[in-house]
Structure 1
Amino acid sequence: MEKFCQSCGMPMDQDPEKGGTNKDGTKNDMYCSYCYENGEFKDDFTEASQMVEFVKGKLAEKGMGKIKQSLYTSQIKKLKRWK
């Protein structure tokens, strides 16, 4: 089963660090290294919609069209961080 970051939705196998880090330095396999470091989220987002817009921007930077951006961000609101 493919695992996804429970904050941004990125496939964990695409994370170069293969997960964020907890306060004690151990790997966190729920959140990617782009979202989570030393036991804290790297962003100050309080709503899933903020993450959706951020991720859409990153995908656009990579040349991805609006349809794919919407497809890849459609599940963010259902992730554990945003429940």
Structure 2
Amino acid sequence: MFRPKGPVCQSCGMPLSKDPLGGGSNADGSPSSEYCSHCYRKGVFTQPNISAEEMMKLVEGKLRSMHFPGFLARRFAREVPTLRRWRGRVTSQAARPRPSELQPRA
């Protein structure tokens, strides 16, 4: 399966290289190496109360609006619960990635 080169946002999965602002920002104004500017600004999440499942829906919708085929949009959205922001949080069975999708990144 295709994997983006370089780091991805640990909240939504967007490649940080695609972020128009180059990534989010920490509280001190320094660039965040973990989160994109859509998810993280000035050291806080832009949507602090969003759940992993809601983020999955948001990601899938955004990818579909960018003309990604539905199967790819769903595939990338299912990665969300594996990202650092969501690890250890309870998600529904439907939101959990399938074991075959948890291959280590090269």
Provide TM-score, normalisation by structure 1: 0.90
Per residue, is there more strand in 1 or in 2? Answer: 1
Amino-acid identity (%) = 36
> Which structure would you say has the larger RCO, counting Cα contacts within 8 Å and 6 or more residues apart?
1
Partner of 1:56: 60
The whole-number CA distance in structure 2 between the counterparts of 1:63 and 1:44 is 28
Change (3 A) 1:54 1:45: farther
After TM superposition, the runs of 4+ consecutive aligned structure 1 residues lying more than 3 A away are none
Alpha-carbon contact 1:18-1:29 (below 8 Å) kept:
no
CA offsets 1:4-34 (integer angstroms, 9 cap, x no match): 1000001111111121001111111100011
Q: Could you tell me which of 4, 7, 25 is aligned with 2:11?
A: 7
CA offsets 1:41-81 (integer angstroms, 9 cap, x no match): 11134421110001111112112221010122121101110
Superposition CA RMSD, Å: 1.3
The whole-number CA distance in structure 1 between the counterparts of 2:65 and 2:48 is 21
User: What residue ranges of structure 1 are gaps of 5+ in the alignment?
Assistant: none
Provide TM-score, normalisation by structure 2: 0.72
Per residue, is there more helix in 1 or in 2? Answer: 1
Q: Could you tell me which of 27, 31, 34 is aligned with 1:27?
A: 31
After superposition, where does 1:41-80 map in structure 2 within 5 Å?
41-80=45-84
Q: Which of 1 and 2 has greater Rg?
A: 2
User: What residue ranges of structure 2 are gaps of 5+ in the alignment?
Assistant: 88-106
SS in structure 2 of the partner of residue 28 of structure 1: coil
